[in-house]
Structures are given as C-alpha cells and as structure tokens.
C-alpha cells in the first residue's frame, strides 16, 4: 500500500516487508502452559469521554514524553508478533484521539497476512466517522465499540460528555466502511440495568453482536464501586424471561461466554470476572502506552518494555522482557467486589491498561 506515511514508522524492521525470513523465536507460553497469542496494546491513556466507571472527571493524564512514540509502538508490537502473537487489539484510553494514529494502523496492517492474523481496535466511536474508511483500508475488519446506553441524557451523565449523536454516526460509518461491529456495554446497577434488553435488541437488529461486562474495581472513580456493580448472572436470568438464550460453543480464546438469542438472531457475550472466573483459558497480554507490560489485567506484575526498547540492543532486551512476562504471569486475578468503601483492587484505571 502506498501513501504519504510509508516511511514514517517501520524503520528498523524494513526486512519484514522484504519477505526475508529471520529465525523463528520461541512462542510465548507461560508457567501454566497457556499459549499467548493475543496482545492488547494501549496507544494513549487520554480520552475525550469520562465514563464514570472508568475515570474521575478530573483525570490526571500522563505527560506526553512518557508515552511511547508511534515508531516505538510499532517496534513493540512487532516484537510480540515475532513471538507468535497473531491477534493485536489497539486500545487506550481512546486510541482514535492520538495524533497520527492512522500511521500506526497502516504500518501494522502491512504485517497482516504474514504472521499477524487480525488487527482490531476498541473505541468509544466518537472519532470513528472520520477514521472508519482509513481503518478498513489498513486491513482492520472488526471493531469493538463501547456503548452503554442509547438514551442521550443518560449517555451524557454516564460519560460526562454529550456525545451520543457522534457515537451513533461513528457506528454507522463503521458499518458503511464494511467493518464488523461488536458493541461492549458495561452493566451498571440502576443506570442501564433496565435498558439492556432494548440496547441488545437495537444492536442485533443492525447485525451487531453485543458483549456485556461486569464492572471491575480498577482505579479510583468518584462513585462507590459496589453501587455500580451488577452481576451478569442476574441480567441473564432476566433476559431469559424475555428471550431464548442458547449457549454457543464459540470462544474468542478470551473471557466472554456466548449465547445465541433465538428471537433476535444475534449473539450475546458475558464477561463475568466476579461471578465466573475466566483465567484458565487466558491467552493475552496487555501493554500500556508507556510500554509497561501487565501480564494480568487484575494483577500488579509488570515488565518495563520501554526500558527494553530504549536500550542498546532493543530486540534482545524485548525478547528477555517477554520471557520474564511468561515467568510472572499469575494463574488468576483476585478482583473482589464484596466490600463497601474498599480501596480499588488496583490503583491503575482501565484507561491505562486498556480494556
Ligand atoms: N476508550 C475505548 C472504549 O471505551 O472503548 C477503549 C478503552 S476502554 C478502557 C475499554 C473498555 O473498558 C470499554 O469497553 C469500557 O467500557 C471498559 N471499562 C472501562 N473501565 C471499566 C471498569 N472499571 N470495569 C469494566 N469495564 C471497564
Ligand atoms: Fe474513555 Fe473508554 Fe474510559 Fe470511557 S471507557 S472514559 S471512553 S477510556
């Protein structure tokens, strides 16, 4: 693909584009014999929304100098792909607010069909109308869009920004660009609890699958977490009063369990870190925009890959960092949602590690 950005990102790795075949390094397998094939890479901690379950209104963002450059992010992702990561999700913060982010998608898209099988993103869709075509051109085929309500006033209250029309426009643009859209909704007690069936019905009528997520105690937010927490087994029971849900064998290798909804013809996923632990099949790693690798979303184990990237021998240091991550990836997370007024299980917000 030729465009004005051809020379901006993949400098040190031009051999990849020339079809040279470097020796295949060892795949990533952790101490519990889980094969790691999926990376979620955050490209910024910044966001244009302020979802009440994700961050406080006055969120302190990282100084920009601490964040990896687009070239470093490309190097980083390539290091993982070299070790057998076949699926890469770009996340944040809001990935589409990062300047020139399409250059990174374009560069990463060139690895598709070689060793990378899928390039995706998670977005709040506020900027998607601008970028949907570019993403499709870069090789993105599917996007996860976070949408917790279709009610404009509730959306404004929940995200602290009146941006629902932009988001709906973004979803429409993604569809027009041929991107397969999956909606993610965090189930929130007394906020969108009653609306969830309508949200699911709306999405399924447009051909979008939906995944519901239980809120997780990540970072300080202004609200009490227990007041937000809605168990998804309760939601499922209520949905079963209305619809026929049949367990479906599909697995994304991830934490979601899926059902088919007979009446809508759509698929519904449940991510239930509290009521059903999903760690045994975990195949993923997460890296923050500052290059900190967190082998577990729910743990404090960490490897500093920015230091590796900025060392004298980045490729070797990166490989060592990944080996270290395999050694320390914990067996499971230890989120708890049973104590009112408790400190968050982890100090960092979801916008830091990426959802
Ligand atoms: N800004 C993008 C978005 O909202 O899609 C990507 C990053 S966001 C952190 C990724 C996902 O994490 C979103 O689906 C969001 O709803 C979810 N999320 C954020 N904070 C959460 C929390 N404390 N518990 C559960 N899910 C959370
Ligand atoms: Fe931003 Fe996504 Fe967090 Fe909402 S969930 S504040 S859109 S990063």
Q: Can you give the residue ranges of every domain in the chain?
A: 25-353
Confidence of residue 281 (pLDDT cuts 50, 70, 90): confident
pLDDT greater than 60 at residue 17: no
What pLDDT score was predicted for residue 3?
39
Distances (CA, A) of 191 to 227, 253, 272: 10, 30, 18
Binding site membership of 50 for ligand 2 (Cβ less than 6 Å)? yes
Q: Whose CA is nearest to atom 26 of ligand 1?
A: 215
Q: How many Å apart are CA 142 and CA 138, to the nearest integer?
A: 12
Q: What is the mean pLDDT of the chain?
A: 88
The pLDDT score that the predictor gives to residue 256 is: 84
Report the distance separating Cα 301 and Cα 250, nearest Å.
Answer: 30
Rounded to two decimals, the pTM is: 0.89
Ligand lying nearest the CA atom of residue 184: 1
Highest mean pLDDT range out of 131-135, 212-216, 280-284? Answer: 131-135
Protein residue closest via CA to atom 8 of ligand 2: 93
Q: Which residue has the higher pLDDT, 27 or 21?
A: 27
Question: Is 123 close to ligand 1, i.e. is its CB under 6 Å away?
Answer: yes
Q: Which ligand is nearest to the CA of 144?
A: 1
* Probe residue for ligand 2, chosen from 52, 53, 55 as the CB with the greatest number of ligand atoms within 8 Å: 55
Please state the rounded mean pLDDT for residues 160-187: 98
Average pLDDT value for residue range 254-282: 85
Please report the pLDDT score of residue 340 as a whole number: 56
In words, the CATH class of domain 25-353 is alpha beta
The CA–CA distances, whole Å, from 286 to 47, 246, 301, 321, 355 equal: 18, 31, 11, 13, 9
Going from the Cα of 204 to the center of ligand 1, the distance in angstroms, rounded, reads 21
Helix (H, G, I), strand (E, B) or coil at 344: coil
Q: Which ligand is nearest the CA of 56, by number?
A: 2
Compute the distance from residue 281 Cα to the ligand 1 centre, in Å: 21
């Amino acid at each position: 693909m030729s465009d004005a950005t051809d020379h901006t990102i993949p400098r040190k790795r031009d051999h990849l584009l020339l079809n040279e075949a470097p020796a295949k390094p060892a795949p990533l397998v952790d101490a519990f014999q889980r094969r790691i094939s999926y990376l979620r890479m955050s490209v910024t901690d910044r966001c244009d929304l302020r979802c009440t379950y994700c961050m406080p209104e006055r969120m302190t963002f990282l100084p920009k100098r601490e964040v990896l450059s687009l070239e470093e992010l490309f190097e980083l992702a390539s290091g993982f792909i070299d070790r057998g990561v076949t699926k890469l999700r770009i996340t944040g913060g809001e990935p589409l607010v990062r300047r020139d982010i399409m250059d990174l998608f374009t560069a990463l898209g060139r690895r598709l069909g070689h060793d990378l099988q899928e390039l995706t993103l998670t977005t709040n869709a506020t900027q998607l109308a601008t970028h949907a075509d570019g993403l499709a051109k870069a090789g993105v085929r599917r996007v996860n869009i976070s949408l917790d309500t279709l009610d404009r006033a509730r959306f404004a209250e929940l995200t602290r920004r009146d941006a629902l029309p932009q988001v709906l426009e973004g979803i429409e643009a993604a569809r027009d660009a041929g991107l397969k859209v999956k909606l993610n909704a965090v189930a929130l007690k007394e906020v969108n609890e009653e609306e969830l069936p309508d949200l699911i019905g709306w999405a399924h009528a447009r051909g979008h699958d939906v995944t519901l997520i239980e809120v997780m105690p990540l970072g300080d937010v202004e609200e009490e977490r227990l007041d937000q927490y809605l168990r998804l087994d309760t939601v499922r029971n209520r949905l079963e009063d209305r619809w026929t849900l049949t367990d479906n064998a599909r697995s994304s290798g991830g934490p979601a369990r899926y059902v088919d909804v007979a009446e809508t013809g759509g698929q519904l996923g449940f991510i239930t870190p509290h009521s059903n632990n999903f760690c045994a099949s975990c195949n993923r790693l997460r890296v923050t925009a500052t290059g900190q690798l967190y082998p577990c979303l729910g743990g404090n184990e960490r490897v500093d890959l920015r230091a590796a990237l900025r060392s004298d021998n980045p490729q070797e240091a990166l490989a060592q960092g990944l080996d270290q991550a395999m050694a320390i990836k914990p067996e499971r997370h230890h989120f708890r949602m049973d104590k009112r007024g408790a400190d968050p299980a982890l100090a960092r917000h979801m916008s830091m590690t990426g959802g």
